[in-house]
Structure 1
Amino acid sequence: MTTLAAILTLMSLALRFDEGSAIQQPLRGRDHRRPRPAVSIGAAGDASADRVGRPGRHGEAASGLTQPASHYRSPIRRSHCGNVSWGILQHRLQAARGECFGAQDLIELAALPDYYNDDYVLLSDIMTPAEKTQAEVAYISRMLQVGLGTRILDLGCGYGRIAHELALAGAVVTGIDLVPAMIEKARSRAERDGLSIDYRIGDMVRLVGLSGFDAAIMWFFSFGYGDDRNHAKILKAACGALKKGGFLLLDQYNTHVLAAENHPSLVDRGESLVIHKPVPDLEAGRWGVERVVVKDGTIHRSRFSCRCYTPPELRAMCLAAGFRDVRFVSEESNEYLPASRKLVAIALK
């Protein structure tokens, strides 16, 4: 009996040792599959839920719904995580993702002067002939009820194609653009025609000292460079520059319609040959163009990429920026249709 009792005691101690060490050792192979408890699903907009799939701050479920998940495979082994919690890991991943987007944002903005240069201006008579500009200015004036003394902020004004014509119609115009060469050309043209237009080199995110405008416009690929966070800041800055009751008018192209027209174009200027190649990314909701200029025996390539939002996306961003209401139309009619080539948004502050 004494021998049997000693054997049972040793077996019991061995089992306890195995159980204790199993907690300390990393889970390997199929051993790390274990039952997963029911996960609480936080209701949308419920402040008691820290995030979807996590209980409220005080341990209670954010809603009455639970989702059973009997087994799951851990994506990261404990030995690789150490004492770092999932919350900290997610925070680090989001921070790294944000840094990547920020870097990409800077890359895209830094590339704009390489695209919007002398070649762009020389091609303007083909891309935006005088009759097209006059039609667009008439449309903008009608939508914003532009009259004598109307204060208009042209964001992404370029070389002043729209701003110049609005000033001729009697509006008081301020133009902002990131590319110094474009502002220089806009100023020269305004001075030549005797117009007083306040052209400034600047970022649309930082509209320092600008306020009380009757309307703001972002027209013809002026909005959409960089990432969504940058665009949200631009909309907020534009809203801040308007007086109460002011309007923001911006246009965006329908990427699906443009994709159906996806074919390169060739322009022979005699002294130069220019190729425009569309670069669509429908999954990311972006539209870009690569331009190839062959001149004096050299080849110069440049490109841009512009985010094109859907009406629900743009509405949510405008409302979050401080606008009270947003309506959508097209240049062809008073409503935006799937076949519309361009989306026009009118936001009321």
Structure 2
Amino acid sequence: MSFTISSTWYQDFFTELPNEFWRQAMPPEATGADIDFTERHLELRPDARVLDVPCGSGRHALELAARGHRVTGLDISDEAVAHGRRAAEAAGLDVDLRVADLRDLPQDSSYDAAVCLGNSFGYLDLAGTRAFVEALAGSLRPGGGLVIDSSTAAETMLPHYQGGSQTMSVGDITMEARREYDVLRSRAFSHYRFSRGDEAVDVTAVHYVLTCAQIAALLTEAGFVELEFFGGPDDTQYEVGSGRLLVTARRS
């Protein structure tokens, strides 16, 4: 096993081919279910100010805007943000999409809610994740709500973890993935090849694996309260082996 990869891997990962694969792979009903969950648990009023970070190509941001919310989305990928802006314009939606690091959030305590959806929680090491959570708290008004999404929490990932390879095709793009786990630093590596015709991109993603207790501690230390843990947008209870973790909280 080789675990030599930059801690800022995400700065170069999200180019057009990987982004387009995930854009095609995610069905609209999955996006709708995520936003139904968010509106329900955060009790969003129709014109709520919502921060979506990282927003990727804007699938959640555009859905929120379509439902009448005022949305700001931030992402490190120039390609993803440009795609999201074009999609918003085509749909006639007013969405503020910006290129930025996920720790570089507005610190004006003006947002009613913030969402971190799409399994991007865990891109940073423990110190970076702490800074991210603190930045989220600084962006929210007192009482503002938060939703965090992860498929790599320890209680999700480790009970059934297997390395090995996987191949998946969506449209004209094929993804080949090989996974391995760095036990000493609690990191999950996903080595990808995305290919489309004669074009191919080889990239590696890293997720730092945190327990639910660690996630709860980070949120509590940053001033979040009323933490709840769910196993999916259908409000199932989170338990060991659940395929997904959704955490809701409020800024105190």
TM-score interval (norm. to shorter):
0.7 to 0.9
Query: Among residues 286, 294, 300, which one is paired with 2:187 in the alignment?
Result: 286
Query: Among residues 133, 144, 147, which one is paired with 1:235 in the alignment?
Result: 133
Instruction: Give 3-state SS (helix, strand or coil) of 2:41's partner.
Output: helix
1:247 Cα offset (Å): 1.4
Deviations 1:150-174 (A, max 9, x none): 1111010001011100110111111
CA contact (8 A) 1:205 1:234 kept: yes
- C-alpha distance in 2 between matches for 1:262 and 1:128: 23
Higher normalized contact order (CA 8 Å, seq sep 6+, divided by chain length) = 2
Instruction: Give 3-state SS (helix, strand or coil) of 1:324's partner.
Output: strand
Paired position in structure 2 for 1:185: 83
Amino acid at match of 1:188: R
- C-alpha distance in 2 between matches for 1:210 and 1:159: 25
Instruction: Give 3-state SS (helix, strand or coil) of 2:7's partner.
Output: helix
Paired position in structure 2 for 1:143: 41
Unaligned runs of 5+ in 2: none
Instruction: Give 3-state SS (helix, strand or coil) of 1:337's partner.
Output: coil
Task: Report 1:198-213 matches (<5 A).
Answer: 198-208=96-106, 210-213=108-111
- C-alpha distance in 1 between matches for 2:110 and 2:82: 26
- C-alpha distance in 2 between matches for 1:314 and 1:297: 42
CA contact (8 A) 2:18 2:194 kept: no
Question: Which range moves more in the overlay, 251-260 or 147-156?
Answer: 251-260
More helix per residue? 1
Amino acid at match of 1:220: G
Question: Which range moves more in the overlay, 238-247 or 124-133?
Answer: 124-133
Task: Report 1:91-170 matches (<5 A).
Answer: 107-109=6-8, 111-170=9-68
Distance change in 2, residues 1:258/1:267 (3 Å):
farther
Question: Which range moves more in the overlay, 249-258 or 313-322?
Answer: 249-258
- C-alpha distance in 1 between matches for 2:203 and 2:160: 20
CA contact (8 A) 1:285 1:307 kept: yes
- C-alpha distance in 1 between matches for 2:139 and 2:99: 16
1:222 Cα offset (Å): 2.2
Paired position in structure 2 for 1:43: none
Distance change in 2, residues 1:311/1:195 (3 Å):
same
- C-alpha distance in 1 between matches for 2:164 and 2:248: 28
Rg (Cα) greater in structure: 1
Give the TM-score of the pair, scaled to structure 1.
0.63
Distance change in 2, residues 1:199/1:244 (3 Å):
same
Amino acid at match of 1:167: A
- C-alpha distance in 1 between matches for 2:167 and 2:45: 38
Amino acid at match of 1:346: T
Paired position in structure 1 for 2:230: 329
Instruction: Give 3-state SS (helix, strand or coil) of 2:57's partner.
Output: coil
CA contact (8 A) 2:163 2:178 kept: no
Unaligned runs of 5+ in 1: 1-102
Instruction: Give 3-state SS (helix, strand or coil) of 1:123's partner.
Output: helix
More strand per residue? 2
1:338 Cα offset (Å): 0.5
How many matched pairs? Answer: 243
CA contact (8 A) 2:231 2:242 kept: yes
1:142 Cα offset (Å): 1.7
Deviations 1:65-116 (A, max 9, x none): xxxxxxxxxxxxxxxxxxxxxxxxxxxxxxxxxxxxxx97xx332x324322
Instruction: Give 3-state SS (helix, strand or coil) of 1:264's partner.
Output: strand
CA contact (8 A) 1:157 1:222 kept: no
Give the TM-score of the pair, scaled to structure 2.
0.86
Paired position in structure 1 for 2:203: 302
